[in-house]
Each structure stands twice: as structure tokens, then as C-alpha cells.
């Protein structure tokens, strides 16, 4: 796990700020295109409620501790982090975009597609909301529909359907404020369900149609893929914590005892409990111990998990892809570690279900604890951040090369006699030079965000 020979410049740090834990994970791609984990730090989260920062000081303390542990493991200092965002404030909407092109015979370029995407950022949203991601669905060129990639085609009218994900400005500001107080910079903010999908879903599943269900401590995130494209995203304000609360009230025990009961003895399907053991909980200060039936515990858990899956299935039906998910459903997140939860999911929704572990893209020799669904979001954020960094580095390298060419052209022409003697620029030459410089400057300033 700890590769001391790795170049610090290639190492990327991702930060998962969850309801139950804060996880900092550092890594980079090796020569085989696999992720090498060089450092990981996980601490209990106390300042986050349902995926949203509710206490700045407690969250700052947790982030600082997680980063320090990861730095010790990696034997290096971190300056920039890539952070995830989630919570019940996340919403999604669909919108249609249209671009009329001047020359129908000219090939559609990446710039045309980027212009359509930039237009989506001009949408009027409810006060306090901001756009986090704009995801193209399918394109239409003139009357040709259902085009995945229109670049290189000819046409006068370019249309597209977009899936737009929004979140509250205050939620992202609070995350930024916490990370700034720790003394770190934020490279970008990514929606956590999108990150999780990178870690646990295969390309075949995304193509066939699959629903990723990430059951966290405070929320349950749903991401639906079909034809390799994100079709629907939703956040349900229920997670593992409500199950713990139900056990606490149903069995009249303390919160930490309820959590231990859920993790150690909990089952999502009471019919699968055959040997009905009795669990004994110590009493308070000389009081008699409390006896809890394992089957009764399972019934309390099953009632709440069924309610969560009711919401999940309602979202799947709302998306319109209920009968198109050939690959069924993939469960991940800490809440998916309940015994028999995959069986309950299949019985309750009728969709084939498997557990999602973030190991497919990891290099050999990783720590076994990272293979848990608990780390799906953290590993996914790391993968997403590494891919984004590679795209950004490639774009910067390309712009440097292009810039050198432009400078060379200007310098070559600068020594020509343009309206003056001995290589000096005349009035026309100065105008021409300023014009070219302005165009070149505008060209580079108008580059779209590499994330899109």
C-alpha cells in the first residue's frame, strides 16, 4: 500500500466527507493503468448530518485528523484535495439544448458541443442553487436522432438532451470553508454517487442498464446508467443511521449498543434467521441485563430497509428505466453490509442484485480493508480525480504547444519590414501585432472547463 518510490507530483488526494466517517485517500496510476493507494486516513465524522456539514469546527477537526493519518502513511505532505459532495439538497433535472450553426456543410467540432454545454450553465435555477454537473444524454443533428457523439458530422441544427445536477451553494461553500481552515486547496467538487459508480460498476453494466444504490450513514444515493450514460440521479434522506435509531427505540438500548447490534447481529431478512439466538445486553449500574431476540432485531431492521427500498424503487420507476435495467441493481456503501440485504432487494424490487466492492481498478497489494463497500465513494473520488488531472494536464500541455507556435509566428513576423526600416514596426505593424495578440489571448481565455 505504501509505495515510497512514487513521484509526489503524480499523487492525487481525494476527500470523502460523509455522515459517519471522513476519509482521505491518496494514490496515483501505475504503468499498468491501475490505482496504487499510497496513503489512507479514516476518522469518525461528527459534524456532518445527512451528507451536509452541520458543525464547521467538528468537521474541520475530522478532516485535519484524516489528512494527517494519510500523510503519515504516504510519507508526504498534501496541498490540494479533490472533494465529494452529497446530501438531500442534491437535485436533478432534464433540459433540451439547441444550437443553430452558420455553415451546415462544416463538420461539427468539439467547440460546438462545448457551447451547448455552456448554454446549460445559463439556466435560471431556484435561489441558492448552483449547477454541479451537466451530462449530455443523446444528440440530434438536423433530423438524425439518438447520436452519442456528433463530432465530425455535418449539419445546421445541433440539439441535445442534458441531465443537469444541482446543489445548494451554501452546502458547497461550507465544504470549501472547512478545507480552507485545514490549510488545503480544493481542486474540484464532484458528486459522490458519480464517483462511486467509477469504482464499482463495469462498462458492460453501464451499457446494459444498471442502478447503483449507495447506502450511506445519512443518505442513500441512486445513479441509473443506460447505454453508458447517466440517465437519472436521486438522493433519499434515509441511510444506515435511521436503522440504528429504530433499533435504539425498538430495543430500548443506547445508541452505541444499537450500532453494535446492527453491525454484529443485524439481518435485513427475518425469515433467514433459523436459530433464534438471544442477545444479552449489560444493564445500567447493577440493573438486570436486557435480552433481545435475534429474530425480533431482524424484524425491526427489515421494516426500515423495506421502506428504503420502496423509495429506491419509486425513483427507478420515476426515471422511466424500470424495465430497461438488464444488469439490475448494485448495492454499495456502509449500509449495504447488512446480512441478506441483497436478497431483500431482489424480493422487494424484482431486480437482480449484487454487492459492489471498489477493487476492480486497484493495483495488486492493496490493503484488504479498502475492498469494503464502505470505501467505494473514496476510491471512486480518487479515480475520478486522477482521470480529471490527466485530462487537465493534457489540455495544458496542448495549450503550451499551441502557444509556442503562436509566439514563434509573431516573432518571425516581428523582424519583417512592416511600414518601417531596419526591422522596426511601423504604425500598421503595431496594429497588426496588437490584433493577433488579442485574438490569441481571447482564444486561450475562452477554453472550456476541462471537466466537461
DSSP letter at 33 equals: S
State yes or no: pLDDT of 283 exceeds 60.
yes
Separation between Cα atoms, residue 301 and residue 294, nearest integer Å: 11
Total residue length of the chain:
452
Q: Given the C-alpha cell 505593424, which residue does it identify?
A: 429
Q: How confident is the model at residue 201 (pLDDT cuts 50, 70, 90)?
A: very high
> Is the CB of residue 413 less than 8 Å from the CB of residue 437?
no
Angle at 312 between CA 388 and CA 261, to 5 degrees: 95
What confidence score (pLDDT) does residue 224 get?
96
What confidence score (pLDDT) does residue 402 get?
55
Q: What cell does 250 get?
A: 425498538
What confidence score (pLDDT) does residue 51 get?
83
Q: How confident is the model at residue 6 (pLDDT cuts 50, 70, 90)?
A: low
> Is the CB of residue 407 less than 8 Å from the CB of residue 401?
no
Average pLDDT over residues 307-314: 95
What confidence score (pLDDT) does residue 399 get?
60
From the list 259, 260, 225, the residue with the least C-alpha distance to 240 is 259
From the list 191, 189, 133, 195, the residue with the least C-alpha distance to 376 is 195
What confidence score (pLDDT) does residue 452 get?
32
Q: Which residue has the higher pLDDT, 426 or 99?
A: 99
Instruction: Give kind and range of the element (H or E) at residue 235.
Output: strand 229-236
Instruction: Render pLDDT for 249-268 as a digit per residue (tens, 0 to 9).
Output: 999 999 999 999 999 999 99
State yes or no: pLDDT of 2 exceeds 50.
no
Lowest-confidence pick of 188-197, 305-314, 352-361, 434-443: 434-443
Please tell me if the domain spanning 91-170 has the same topology as the one spanning 201-376: no
State yes or no: pLDDT of 405 exceeds 50.
no
State residue 420 phi and psi, 5-degree precision: -160, 170
What confidence score (pLDDT) does residue 360 get?
85
Q: Which residues pair with 258 in a beta bridge?
A: none
Alpha-helical segments (H) within 47-91? 56-74
3-state helix, strand, coil in the chain (%, to 5): 40, 25, 30
At the top level of CATH, the class of 201-376 is: alpha beta
> Is the CB of residue 370 less than 8 Å from the CB of residue 37?
yes
> Is the CB of residue 168 less than 8 Å from the CB of residue 129?
yes
* DSSP string covering 102-122: S-TTSBP-HHHHHHHHHHHTT
Sequence-distant (6+) residues with CB within 8 A of 108 are: 101, 141, 150, 151, 152, 153, 154, 155, 158
Q: For residue 408, give Cα distances in angstroms to 237, 402, 426.
A: 58, 10, 20
What confidence score (pLDDT) does residue 233 get?
93
> Is the CB of residue 52 less than 8 Å from the CB of residue 97?
no
Sequence-distant (6+) residues with CB within 8 A of 277 are: 265, 293, 294
Interhelix angle 169-182/56-74, nearest 10 degrees: 50
DSSP letter at 20 equals: S
What confidence score (pLDDT) does residue 206 get?
95
Average pLDDT over residues 312-325: 94
Average pLDDT over residues 29-33: 86
Report the predicted TM-score, pTM, of the whole model to 2 decimal places. Answer: 0.82
State yes or no: pLDDT of 377 exceeds 90.
yes
> Is the CB of residue 222 less than 8 Å from the CB of residue 237?
no
Q: How confident is the model at residue 350 (pLDDT cuts 50, 70, 90)?
A: very high
What confidence score (pLDDT) does residue 443 get?
41
Average pLDDT over residues 278-284: 87
What is the CATH code for 91-170?
3.30.1490.110
Alpha-helical segments (H) within 75-106? none
Q: How confident is the model at residue 444 (pLDDT cuts 50, 70, 90)?
A: very low
Domain regions of the chain by residue span? 91-170, 201-376, 415-452
Q: Which residue has the higher pLDDT, 398 or 338?
A: 338
State residue 335 phi and psi, 5-degree precision: -70, -15
Instruction: Render pLDDT for 224-255 as a digit per residue (tens, 0 to 9).
Output: 999 999 999 999 988 999 999 999 999 999 99
From the list 75, 3, 66, the residue with the least C-alpha distance to 365 is 3
What confidence score (pLDDT) does residue 424 get?
42
What confidence score (pLDDT) does residue 276 get?
83
Interhelix angle 192-200/376-414, nearest 10 degrees: 100
> Is the CB of residue 385 less than 8 Å from the CB of residue 14?
yes
DSSP letter at 149 equals: -
Average pLDDT over residues 400-404: 56
State yes or no: pLDDT of 427 exceeds 70.
no
Q: What is the mean pLDDT of the chain?
A: 85
> Is the CB of residue 17 less than 8 Å from the CB of residue 171?
no
Average pLDDT over residues 152-181: 93
State yes or no: pLDDT of 420 exceeds 80.
no
State yes or no: pLDDT of 418 exceeds 90.
no
Average pLDDT over residues 123-128: 91
Q: How confident is the model at residue 46 (pLDDT cuts 50, 70, 90)?
A: confident
What confidence score (pLDDT) does residue 448 get?
42
What confidence score (pLDDT) does residue 415 get?
38
Average pLDDT over residues 333-337: 93
Amino acid at each position: 500500500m505504501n509505495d515510497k518510490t512514487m513521484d509526489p507530483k503524480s499523487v492525487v488526494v481525494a476527500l470523502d466527507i460523509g455522515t459517519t466517517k471522513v476519509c482521505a485517500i491518496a494514490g496515483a496510476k501505475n504503468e499498468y493503468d491501475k490505482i496504487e493507494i499510497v496513503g489512507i486516513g479514516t476518522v469518525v465524522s461528527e459534524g456532518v448530518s445527512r451528507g451536509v456539514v452541520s458543525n464547521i469546527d467538528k468537521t474541520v477537526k475530522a478532516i485535519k485528523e484524516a489528512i494527517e493519518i494519510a500523510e503519515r502513511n504516504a510519507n508526504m505532505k498534501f496541498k490540494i484535495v479533490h472533494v465529494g459532495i452529497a446530501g438531500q439538497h442534491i437535485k436533478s433535472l432534464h433540459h433540451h439544448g439547441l444550437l443553430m450553426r452558420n455553415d451546415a456543410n462544416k463538420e461539427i467540432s468539439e467547440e460546438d458541443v462545448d457551447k451547448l454545454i455552456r448554454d446549460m450553465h445559463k439556466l435560471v435555477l431556484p435561489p441558492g442553487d448552483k449547477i454541479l454537473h451537466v451530462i449530455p444524454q443523446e444528440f440530434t443533428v438536423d433530423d438524425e436522432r439518438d447520436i452519442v457523439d456528433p463530432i465530425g458530422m455535418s449539419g445546421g441544427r445541433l440539439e441535445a438532451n442534458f441531465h443537469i445536477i444541482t446543489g445548494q451553494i451554501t452546502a458547497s461553500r461550507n465544504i470549501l470553508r472547512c478545507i480552507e481552515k485545514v490549510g488545503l486547496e480544493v481542486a474540484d467538487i464532484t458528486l459522490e454517487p458519480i464517483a462511486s459508480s467509477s469504482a464499482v460498476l463495469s462498462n458492460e453494466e453501464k451499457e446494459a442498464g444498471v442502478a447503483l444504490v449507495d447506502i450511506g450513514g445519512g443518505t442513500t444515493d441512486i445513479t441509473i446508467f443506460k447505454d453508458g450514460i447517466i440517465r437519472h440521479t436521486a438522493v433519499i434522506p434515509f441511510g444506515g443511521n435511521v436503522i440504528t435509531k429504530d433499533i435504539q427505540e425498538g430495543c430500548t438500548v443506547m445508541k452505541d449498543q444499537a450500532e453494535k447490534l446492527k453491525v454484529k447481529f443485524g439481518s435485513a431478512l427475518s425469515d433467514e434467521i433459523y436459530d433464534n439466538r438471544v442477545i444479552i445486553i449489560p444493564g445500567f449500574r447493577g440493573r438486570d441485563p436486557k435480552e433481545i431476540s435475534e429474530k425480533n432485531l431482524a424484524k425491526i431492521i427489515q421494516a426500515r430497509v423495506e421502506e428504503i427500498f420502496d423509495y429506491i424503487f419509486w425513483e427507478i420507476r420515476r426515471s422511466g428505466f424500470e424495465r430497461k435495467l438488464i444488469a439490475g441493481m448494485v448495492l454499495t456503501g456502509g449500509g449495504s453490509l447488512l446480512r441478506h440485504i441483497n436478497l431483500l432487494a431482489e424480493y422487494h424490487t424484482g431486480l437482480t442484485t449484487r454487492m459492489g466492492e471498489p477493487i476492480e481498478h486497484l493495483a495488486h497489494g492493496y490493503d484488504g480493508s479498502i475492498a469494503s463497500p464502505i470505501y467505494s465513494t473514496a476510491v471512486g473520488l480518487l479515480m475520478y480525480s486522477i482521470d480529471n488531472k490527466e485530462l487537465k494536464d493534457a489540455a495544458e500541455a496542448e495549450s503550451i504547444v499551441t502557444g509556442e507556435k503562436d509566439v514563434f509566428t509573431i516573432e518571425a513576423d516581428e523582424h519583417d519590414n512592416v511600414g518601417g526600416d531596419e526591422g522596426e514596426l511601423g504604425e500598421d505593424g503595431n496594429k497588426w501585432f496588437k490584433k493577433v495578440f488579442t485574438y490569441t489571448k481571447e482564444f486561450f481565455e475562452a477554453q472550456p472547463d476541462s471537466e466537461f
